[in-house]
Amino acid sequence: MADHDIRVLDESNFRAAHSLFRGTLHSAPATDERWEHVKASYDPGRAFGAFQGDEMVGTAQSWPAVLAVPGGVEVPTSAVSRVGVRADWTRRGVLSALMRRQFRDYREAGEIASVLRASEAVIYGRFGYGVASRGRQLKFDRHRVAVTPSAGTGGRIRLVDLDTGVALAPELYTRAGLTRPGMTSRWSSWWTMNLDRVLRYDNARMAVHRGADGDDGYVVYEVKSGMGEPHGKSVLTVEDLVAANPEAWAELWRFVFRVDLVDEVVGELRPLDEPVEWLIANRRAAKVTDVEDETWLRLVDVPAALAARRYAPAEPVVVRVRDRYLPDNEGAYRITPDGAERTTAEADLGLDVDLLAATYLGDVSFTELAHAGRLDVLDGAALARADALFATERAPWSGTYF
């Protein structure tokens, strides 16, 4: 029998939960000044604590969001963060209990999916989360970058101050829209915890592009100077780049490349298919230095999730899904260009729910998983059909860290 219980947290224990979470990352509790900045990011009813008696030993929380899935559909989703179990209580079922409670509440709220960013890659697969999008890190040798000519449509870029940036960015993000599978809405406290924080505390800057129809994009960047250090480099890192159209996107990158007193430009966790290299004449000045997992996706309601996304033209396939934590998701699903539904037909392919999540946004194909021995292939011809049905035009990507 479990020697802990899961409770919904309120304002009286939000700070204790935050300190516990930071402790699991080997960080000190937030200072009073930082806590004033953080406390509004705890949504009532969405933060949980695991308790032994009156002592908190674990915590997790989430925010309500929407997730863009293939076909341009946006589905209700939970964005999970601040998950941690105290070091003296790990491997005693605390995290499992927190996850089960969250899944139950997500379903009651009608949130058919859940997304998170994983601190470690071996934790969340057992709870049904799979890597559903990845990002690449790009490094540009600023001294070798020759920017290609602009189309010359008359756009203009200006630097903005903290108050202007904080007011403008949410409007511009909404205008740009969730244009890729994997992108999520950004809740109000996201802007406080991320944009406001980096502009206020981290010496970041924000530039806004204005096109023919008004402001249509922005870039947030930070420069860490190497001046005064032996062999030091000044590195400009792109923290967030949002554009409502290709012109704004290209001009914002051109602006970044032209910032003076910079030796290296870094784009972190950018989309795998973002054509930044084509903005410079010497593509050898650009290096892909890493590819990392980004979105970890959990299909909380598999029938609803499969029915929500759109599929490409191809012959039908029947997929059998296994789900240890949410067994009512288990079963066979017939997937066609017109949608997906449960079926009693024999399965062509079989896989666990975390691997279904990995294919769901189009990041990995069924054939790739089959080659790695990760799924059951009952009909070899079904792999090509499944790959075609789940194919997407653009690589999935979120761009929102939380």
CA-CA distances (angstroms) from residue 70 to 164, 392, 400?
34, 7, 18
Is residue 238 within 8 A of residue 221, CB to CB? The reply is: yes
As a whole number of angstroms, the distance between CA 48 and CA 15 comes to 12
For 368, the token pair is 């790739």
Candidates 124, 127, 311, 390; catalytic one: 124
Rg (CA), the chain: 23
Tokens 């101050």 -> residue: 161
| CATH of 136-291 among 3.40.630.30, 3.40.980.10, 3.10.450.50, 3.40.50.1110 | 3.40.630.30
Distance of CA 363 to the CA centre of its chain: 13
Nearest 10 degrees: Cα torsion 230, 231, 234, 239 = -110
The closest of 350, 351, 334 to 389, measured between CA atoms, is: 334
Provide the token pair at 80.
Answer: 């999970």
Task: Name the nearest CA neighbour of 86 among 38, 52, 129.
Answer: 52
Domain pair 136-291 / 301-390, same fold: no
401 is catalytic: no
Low-confidence residues of the chain: pLDDT under 70: 1-2, 152, 228
The answer to whether the beta carbons of residues 91 and 83 sit under 8 Å apart is no
Residue 181 CA to residue 305 CA, distance in Å, equals: 13
The Cα–Cα gap between 273 and 218 comes to 20
Assess whether 51 carries a catalytic annotation: no
At residue 230, the pLDDT reads: 75
Mean pLDDT (the chain) is 96
pLDDT tens string 120-163: 999 999 999 999 999 999 999 999 999 998 876 779 999 999 99
**What is the Cα 364 distance to its own chain's centre?**
16
Structure tokens at 88: 């003296």
Amino acid at 276: V
Sorted by sequence, the CB contacts under 8 Å of residue 129 that are 6+ apart come out as 114, 116, 118, 296, 297, 298, 354, 357
pLDDT in tens, 31-44: 999 999 899 999 99
What number of H helices and E strands is found in the chain? 11, 19
Predicted TM-score (pTM) of the model is 0.95
- Domain ranges in the chain? 5-111, 136-291, 301-390
Tokens of 313: 């033209």
Pull the structure tokens for residue 65.
């969001």
Please tell me whether residue 75 adopts helix, strand or coil conformation: strand
Question: Is 85:58 a contact under the CB 8 Å cutoff?
Answer: yes
CB-count exposure of residue 350 (10 Å: 0-12, 13-18, 19+): middle
Residue of 18, 189, 9, 1 lying closest to 98 (CA atoms): 9
Of the candidate CATH numbers 3.40.30.10, 3.10.420.10, 3.40.50.1000, 3.40.630.30, the domain formed by 5-111 belongs to 3.40.630.30
The pLDDT of residue 356: 98
Provide the pLDDT for residue 9.
Answer: 97
Nearest of 121, 33, 20 to residue 61 by alpha carbon: 20
CATH of range 301-390; options 3.40.50.620, 3.30.1050.10, 3.30.70.1560, 2.60.40.10: 3.30.1050.10
Q: Can you give the pLDDT at residue 2?
A: 66
Rounded-to-integer distance, Cα 134 and Cα 270, Å: 8
Greatest C-alpha distance within the chain:
70
pLDDT of res. 301: 98
Per the residue annotation, which of 14, 103, 129, 402 is the catalytic one? 402
